[in-house]
Amino acid sequence: MKALALIPALASILALSACTVGPNYERPATSAKAAGGFSETERSGAIAATALPDDWWKLYDDPVLDRLITDALAHNTDIRAAAANLARARAALSEQQGARLPSTDLSASATRSRTAAGQSPTRKAFETDYYSVGFDASYEIDLFGGVTRAIQAARGDRDAAAAQLDAARVSIAAETARAYATACGNAAQRAVAQETVGLQQQTLDLTKRLFDAGRGTRRDVERADVLLAQTQAQIPGFEAERRASLYALATLTGRPPAEIDADADRCTTPPRVRAILPVGDGNALLARRPDVRAAERTLAADTARVGVATADLYPSIQLLGSIGFGATKPGNVFKGSGFSYSLGPLISWNFPNQTIARARLRQAEAVSDGSLASFDGTVLTALKEVEQALARYAGALDTNAALVRAEQASGEAAKLSKLRFDYGADSFLLLIDAERDRANARAARAQSDAAVADAQISLFKALGGGWEGAPEVTRREP
């Protein structure tokens, strides 16, 4: 009956548990300017404000690239590490949610004790057995919302970890495409250099024949040989960079570097989207970019931790209860004579000395302020990166168009110069200059094609797509 008398008081305490101290989180507002269209969209006809597709790399219509990125998203080690961090954050959330449930402890013991003669009232030593079974339970009443805020913080950490996993997917998809494009681009530049070597070799052979026939000079032969050697010197560098990109590509897909992908090894043309690129607007960007979502969720978690620290300024109330059975014989343990219980609240409060609790509250508030600044900075960085990528992509396209014209013009000029030289209308110096111009124009065009591919990939990476519908992460045997 005395235990039942505690029920009204406990009910009053539970009624107060709806009070949750600390700030309630609200997502920071985004300005209309940031949520609108990108400035570069109005300046370039190569991009449009249409929605970015989930798998942006499929715009290249390249099955090899599709397969490589799918492999990377499934097996890359950075993505696996981010997935493990997400699993840890989910487990931490489950731990915090468990604080809403009573903690219980079941115990059983059997002891045999001996009392010395000097300690016995009868001055005789004796031995006794004692058997006991007990059940203890405690429940913390979330009177000021400390447990609720802790769960909110853990949920924010889990969501931030999920966004960081998506960010890893964005980065790996882009870097896989970049490694593939770099390998293909270096193969293309190598092919251009090899073709140029063939043309310059023909010029050198012709110069030698003319010299042998008495129509040229040794200097003409040496100059033609110098031009040929300069072009030949470029080929090993292109080949080395091509192989280096293939090694990087293997590692990105979770393979040892020596396992070079055969299809990528055969690629000789960098992938390129020739259609108008869909880029969306600022509002879609901020909703899609994983780093923005991670920063926002981290801010929510740190705001909740302010509530956890605030709750520590107030009393903590626990309901404690235990039931026990004990006897000197096993058969008598659960008889009424061996029954015992205890029930009641435990109130604890670090008052009046709250120096430590208030210091922790100030720390939590400072961390929250820092997270807000980081969120604002992440938003600005996302917008900046897209505008920069758009500007560089537009510049790469304009440069490429000009170099295409330059390559065509230099090729025609070299043909005319050779004809005129063959008929004696031009000097060998003019022929060499024309050959050099053609070689430079062809090399610049090939390099520009690679730069366009790289600029496209940088733009897609800045837009933050590619994590939607990612495959399950698995370990590939090294």
Contact 226, 278 (CB under 8 A): no
204-238 burial: b if 16+ Cβ within 10 Å, else e: bebbeebbeeeebeeebbebbbebbeebeebbeeb
Q: Which residue(s) pair with 104 in the sheet?
A: 137
**Helix extents (H) in 423-477:** 428-463
pLDDT for the residue numbered 1: 45
Mean pLDDT (10-residue bins), the chain, 478 residues: 48 56 92 87 83 92 96 95 96 94 93 79 80 93 92 97 96 97 96 90 87 85 91 95 97 95 95 90 94 97 96 92 90 87 91 92 97 96 96 95 95 90 81 87 93 95 88 77
SS3 21: coil
User: What angle, 0 to 180 degrees and rounded to 10, lies between the N-to-C axes of helices 234-252 and 146-212?
Assistant: 160
Contact 168, 74 (CB under 8 A): no
The phi, psi pair for 317, rounded to 5°, reads -120, 130
Q: What is the DSSP letter of 254?
A: T
Calpha distance 19→284 (Å, rounded): 37
Calpha distance 90→35 (Å, rounded): 32
Calpha distance 238→272 (Å, rounded): 20
pLDDT for the residue numbered 190: 95
- Beta-carbon contacts of residue 445 (< 8 Å; ≥ 6 apart): 192, 400, 403, 404, 406, 407
Q: Which residue(s) pair with 139 in the sheet?
A: 319
Look up the pTM and report it.
0.87
Q: What is the DSSP letter of 347?
A: E
pLDDT for the residue numbered 6: 47
Calpha distance 394→391 (Å, rounded): 5
pLDDT for the residue numbered 18: 53
pLDDT for the residue numbered 125: 77
The dihedral sign for the CA sequence 362, 363, 365, 370: positive
Contact 121, 66 (CB under 8 A): no
Residue in the structure block whose two tokens are 């060998």: 428
Helix (H), strand (E) at residue 294: helix 290-311
